């Protein structure tokens, strides 16, 4: 089924040239991104890069100074109600009405979205099951742990079955099992055709659930060419061998430059330009008699890009278009 929106634009998230100042502080200078329905995009950036400010603008809470935003085809500035009906926001600040039970909190949120009482109750039961909060349904929200509050916050964002989801640090405070559940849930929601934007510091997490990523540094989203350049820079691979001494000897014989190799407490790190070079070097190391027990990228794809862009951002501003 084709999703028709009034402006004819995308049904997901479309942001172009958005900026926002707080007095003299330029929280977001120029952000542009696109999230299509059915996809998950990671929003990545260092602390203070403007991720939350951008999220707040997408969530109809903050007006941008310049640029345009479309959520499900609607402008949050001129038609906030239309956006709110179609958008679910999970904030990075965990707040819940302390005297309400978990069930009441979700149900009330549904009612605030103008759902009839009965529909809100049904949807609440559904969400309690999805998020695994069912055993805590009658507990007051103030007794919840951080991770449980996180789940409640997610349930609230989903209560009106929105087309667009904005998740601000959804995985923080979750245990590994809950993270796996969250990952599966996010993938499933994307499979249902929702456009999802996830901001997170846990980049390995995003690697596994996001189709693409937007890098935000000092309020500017990185351009495609910057990302390509960062991805093509040298990347470290972790090498483990049964005997570190033999590995060191083997590295010497295969002719890897000393500037490419570093050793830390966990093992040896070797920098390669791409996977082909890494695979070729692995073959030669094995042939040279290094008994290799582990060989793989030290950091994930996103983390590598993120760290590289971050380095570029702090060493100079020439990369900013």
Partner 1 sequence: MSATVATSARQPFWGGLWLIVTLELRQRVRGVAWYVLLGVFFVIVGFVTVLLWFATNALESGGGGMFSTIIFFVLLLGSLVSPALSGNAINGDRDSGVLATTQVTLITTWQLVLGKFVAAWLTALAFLAAALPFLLFAVVLGEVSFATVAVSTLVLALELGVIAAIGVGLSGIQTRPLFSIVTTYLVIAALSVGTLIVFGLAGLATQSATTTTSSDFDWNNPPDDEANGRWTCTDPVVYESTVPRFDYYWGVLAANPYVVVADAAPGSFDELGNPTDLFGWIATGVRSAQNAPELDTVYDACADGGSPQDVNGGNGDYPTAEEMYNDAVPSWFVGLSIHLLLGAGALFWAYTRTNTPARRLPTGSRVA
**210 is an interface residue for partner 1 by CB under 8 A:** no
**Residue 125 is a binding residue for partner 1 (CB under 8 A):** no
For residue 103, state whether it binds partner 1 (rule: CB under 8 A).
no
The one-character DSSP state at 74 is B
Going by their DSSP bridges, the two strands 235-241 and 195-199 should be labelled as unpaired
Among 45, 70, 113, 306, binds partner 1 (CB under 8 A): 113
CA 127 to chain centre: 22
Quick check: 82 binds partner 1 (CB under 8 A)?
A: yes
Site string for partner 1, 151-190 (x = CB under 8 A): --x--x---xxxx---------------------------
Query: Which tokens is 97 given?
Result: 């009405």
Measured between alpha carbons, how far is residue 80 from residues 18, 58, 63, 70 in Å?
A: 17, 10, 11, 11
State how far the Cα of 176 lies from the Cα of 159, in Å rounded to an integer.
24
Can you state the angle between helices 117-131 and 102-112, rounded to 10 degrees? 130
Options 30, 68, 108, 223; binder of partner 1; rule CB under 8 A:
108
Report the C-alpha gap between 135 and 156 in whole angstroms.
Answer: 17
Site membership for partner 1, residue 109 (CB under 8 A): yes
Q: Do 210 and 44 contact (CB within 8 A), yes or no?
A: no
Question: Binding of partner 1 at residue 249 (CB under 8 A)?
Answer: no
The residue within the footprint of partner 1, chosen from 34, 36, 100, 234 (CB under 8 A), is 100
Q: Is 86 in the site for partner 1 (CB under 8 A)?
A: yes
Residue 235 backbone phi and psi in degrees, to 5: -125, 140
- Phi and psi angles of residue 137, each rounded to the nearest 5 degrees, phi first: -55, -35
Dihedral over alpha carbons 304, 305, 311, 315 (to 10 degrees): 150
For residues 37 to 76, the per-residue mask of contacts with partner 1, x marking binding by CB under 8 A and - elsewhere, is: -------------------xx-xxxxx--------x---x
Q: Which of residues 287-306 bind partner 1 (CB under 8 A)?
A: none
Q: Among 7, 16, 22, 66, which residue sits at the site for partner 1 (rule: CB under 8 A)?
A: 22
Residues of this chain that interact with partner 1 (CB under 8 A) are: 1, 3-4, 22-23, 56-57, 59-63, 72, 76-77, 80-82, 84-87, 89, 91-100, 108-109, 111-115, 153, 156, 160-163
């Amino acid at each position: 089924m084709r999703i028709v929106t009034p402006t004819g634009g995308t049904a997901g998230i479309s942001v172009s040239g958005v900026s926002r100042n707080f007095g003299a502080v330029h929280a977001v200078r120029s952000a542009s991104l696109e999230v299509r329905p059915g996809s998950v995009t990671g929003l990545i950036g260092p602390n203070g890069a403007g991720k939350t400010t951008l999220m707040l603008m997408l969530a109809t809470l903050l007006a941008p100074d310049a640029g345009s935003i479309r959520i499900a085809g609607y402008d949050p500035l001129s038609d906030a109600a239309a956006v709110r009906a179609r958008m679910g926001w999970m904030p990075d600040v965990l707040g819940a009405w302390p005297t309400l039970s978990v069930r009441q909190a979700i149900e009330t949120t549904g009612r605030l979205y103008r759902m009839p009482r009965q529909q809100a109750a049904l949807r609440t039961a559904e969400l309690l099951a999805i998020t695994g909060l069912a055993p805590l349904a009658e507990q007051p929200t103030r007794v919840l742990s951080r991770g449980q509050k996180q789940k409640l916050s997610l349930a609230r964002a989903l209560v009106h079955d929105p087309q667009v989801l904005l998740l601000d640090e959804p995985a923080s405070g979750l245990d590994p099992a809950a993270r796996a559940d969250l990952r599966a849930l996010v993938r499933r929601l994307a499979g249902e055709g929702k456009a999802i934007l996830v901001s997170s510091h846990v980049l390995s997490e995003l690697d596994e659930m996001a189709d693409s990523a937007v890098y935000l540094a000092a309020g500017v989203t990185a351009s495609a060419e910057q990302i390509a350049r960062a991805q093509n820079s040298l990347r470290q691979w972790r090498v483990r061998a049964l005997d570190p001494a033999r590995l060191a000897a083997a590295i010497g014989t295969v002719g890897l430059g000393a500037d490419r190799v570093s050793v830390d407490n966990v093992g040896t790190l070797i920098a390669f330009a791409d996977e082909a070079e890494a695979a070729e070097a692995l073959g030669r190391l094995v042939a040279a008699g290094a008994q290799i027990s582990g060989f793989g990228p030290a950091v994930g794809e996103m983390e590598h890009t993120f760290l590289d862009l971050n380095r570029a951002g702090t060493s100079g501003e020439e990369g900013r278009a």
